[in-house]
Amino acid sequence: MSHTFKLTRAGLVSAIALMAAAAPLTAHARQDRSTQQTRSMTRTYSAAEFFQTTSFGLASGAGLAFSPDGASVLVSSDASGVFNAYALPVAGGTAVPLTASTTNATYAESYFPNDDRILVAADGGGNERSHVYVRERDGTLRDLTPGDAVKANLIGWKGDRSEIWVASNARDPKVFDIVAIDPATYDSRLLFENPGMTLGAVSADGRWVVLEEQLGSGDGNLYLVDLWVGGEPRLITPHTGSVKYRVFDFTPDSRALLFGSDAVGEFGRGYRHDLASGETIDDLKGDWDLTALSYSPSGRYRISAFNVDARTELTVLDTTTGRAVALAGVPEGDIGTVRFSDDERRMAFTVASDTSPNDIFVADLTTGQARRLTTALNPAMREDDLVEATVVRYRGEGGVMIPAVLYRPHGASAANPAPAVVLVHGGPGGQSRRGYSAMVQHLVNHGYAVLAANNRGSSGYGKTFLHMDDRRHGEADLRDIVAGGDWLRAQDWIADDQVAVMGGSYGGYLTVAALAFHPEAFEAGIDIFGVTNWVRTLESVPAWWGAQRASLFDEMGDPATDAERHRRISPLFHAERIVRPLLVVQGANDPRVLQVESDEMVAAVRANNVPVEYIVFPDEGHGFRKRDNRIAAQEAYLRFLDTYVRRSAGQARGQ
């Protein structure tokens, strides 16, 4: 098994149909539910009921998801209200809790190869300084990466399972080294001292390390390091112009590196670099971005995924037959993450859709028969009461077509127009995608249309579209959001005087920017841990971003030279223009958007005698880890929208 290192736990895994010999591994074809959705009565559910839905995730792709005896799959779940690690019986039955944190989210990483110990990861209240822990046989946790300022992530196991590999910034806060840990004694040694780039992956034999050099938001390089021979990192991606590279994995036999590149055309494709000869060849391409490419432990099965217009199409190809694995007993939806047992007789995977959250399945690879192990949706809820999304496109500035994911409430019509929300994703460079969202479905269930916009600068639609907002943030990308509101108002089933804007992180920034720079465009705004002062935010980038700073500064501008523009696009310095109601949600432990930023924004808008609601969660960071907090925030969103957006004819704005 080879090992790919990621700075963040969550990653976009998306896909497109491959060639005929490798048809996508998706659940059975989507069915038209229109006849089901025209029933006379749709039940409404509380935020608490929506968030009684349980979140499930498989163990890290760098780890061992199946227990040594094959009886269980290691998963993360928030069944208790806080994420913890569980052993999920392959034969079916109740998940067995392995950790019991009531404070910090604790994520399952890996089983040990020969006993019932596991590896887990947790940070401190959302501060993003994650550590790697061993859960001992007696249930206690041992920190393998101690230190108050340390951030560490699991890279994986050496191929022969003799070492645990961890990425750690203990030596230098700005870079991640590779530390090898003895699984018996827990003694550690420095395996690789990073010269200052981003760790990409380590080959299973421990010989090769690939590093990513980020020259800018759309340009970079890959370097190989031979740990057995030594010497300086060797460039393997010489090029002219701007080319973006991404590491996928080493092949299980440690003979080749798999990586992606957008060097040819608009979309990323896959390449294979032979480590012995140095030859690089095309490996896989499609009509959309290739976002995942890896192999099962022996190399028999190839997993590939493409990002197809805001949804995932994933294929598991049996390389011995040239055919995609066919599964039976799987509901409609997109296949997400995939994990194999060491003997490759079984495969664990997730399935999700717009109306059904991630559930975990296990399939017998000999027969293709799958068994469902979880039911994530609250059993008190009917899936037919939820809404399947559609992808629409509207015209933005300069004729640029803006993709968006639209959720239309049941019963919305010209005779019964719905209030609406333009939802803005995070980033910069994120993407609004199809798939289950309790936050969105709760609002739609209570009668709000939601348009999840992919403004210019979003990923998934080609490199030209992605870089349209570079060093122009808060300009045309913001006007794309305003245009989304205009598009909604043009629909006869939307109440044209009841349209709000809402977003988190970079989407929170565009939300408040819309209220400041287009003060009449929306009835109200909801800012969820959004940037409002780019000057401070860019000066406060955490040290562990290290080599990623160049990419961020290339896209947003260097605070040393672009502070004037950052001030011009920051809502905090133009707060006097805001005249519509605002809700601000903030995590006290947020290392990206400091609480002081939201404190100042709220005070500035209140000085305008504009209604402002402010919620600070003392035990959250840049996002929500705890169910109770998600419920409290969701109730606040709906209450705020009902107060300031949904209103009867003649009701005054902001009252």
Angle formed at CA 568 by CA 564 and CA 572, multiple of 5 degrees: 115
Nearest-angstrom CA–CA distance, 620 and 627: 11
User: What is the model's pLDDT at position 11?
Assistant: 31
Q: What stretch of H or E contains 484? A: helix 476-489
Task: Select from 227, 232, 240 the least CA-distant residue to 189.
Answer: 227
Confidence grade of residue 376 (pLDDT, cut at 50, 70, 90): very high
User: 395 pLDDT exceeds 80?
Assistant: yes
What one-letter code names the amino acid at 377? Answer: L
- Which residues have CB under 8 Å from 313's CB, separation 6+? 14, 15, 16, 17, 24, 26, 305, 306, 334
User: What is the model's pLDDT at position 537?
Assistant: 85
User: What is the model's pLDDT at position 651?
Assistant: 55
- Average pLDDT of the residues in 458-472: 93
Weakest-pLDDT range from 6-10, 189-193, 352-356: 6-10
* Residue pLDDT, tens place only, 268-282: 999 999 999 999 999
By DSSP bridging, strand 346-353 and strand 334-340 are antiparallel
Which position has the higher pLDDT, 540 or 348? 348
Weakest-pLDDT range from 16-20, 84-88, 178-182, 423-427: 16-20
Weakest-pLDDT range from 29-43, 70-84, 594-608: 29-43
Nearest-angstrom CA–CA distance, 440 and 459: 21
Token readout for 118 is 């596991």
What one-letter code names the amino acid at 212? Answer: E
* Bond into 428 cis (ω within 30): yes
User: 626 pLDDT exceeds 50?
Assistant: yes
**Mean pLDDT over each residue of the chain, to the nearest integer:** 91
User: What is the model's pLDDT at position 137?
Assistant: 95
Q: Which residues pair with 641 in a beta bridge?
A: none
* Residue pLDDT, tens place only, 137-159: 999 999 999 999 999 999 999 99
Confidence grade of residue 551 (pLDDT, cut at 50, 70, 90): confident
* Residue pLDDT, tens place only, 303-329: 999 999 999 999 999 999 999 999 999
What is the reported pTM? 0.89
User: 21 pLDDT exceeds 50?
Assistant: no
User: What is the model's pLDDT at position 556?
Assistant: 86
Q: What stretch of H or E contains 404? A: strand 401-407
Token readout for 181 is 């840990």
* Residue pLDDT, tens place only, 120-130: 999 998 888 99
Q: Which residues pair with 353 in a beta bridge?
A: 356
Confidence grade of residue 547 (pLDDT, cut at 50, 70, 90): low
C-beta of residue 603 within 8 angstroms of C-beta of residue 614: no
User: What is the model's pLDDT at position 26?
Assistant: 42
Confidence grade of residue 546 (pLDDT, cut at 50, 70, 90): low
Which position has the higher pLDDT, 132 or 18? 132
Token readout for 255 is 């003979």
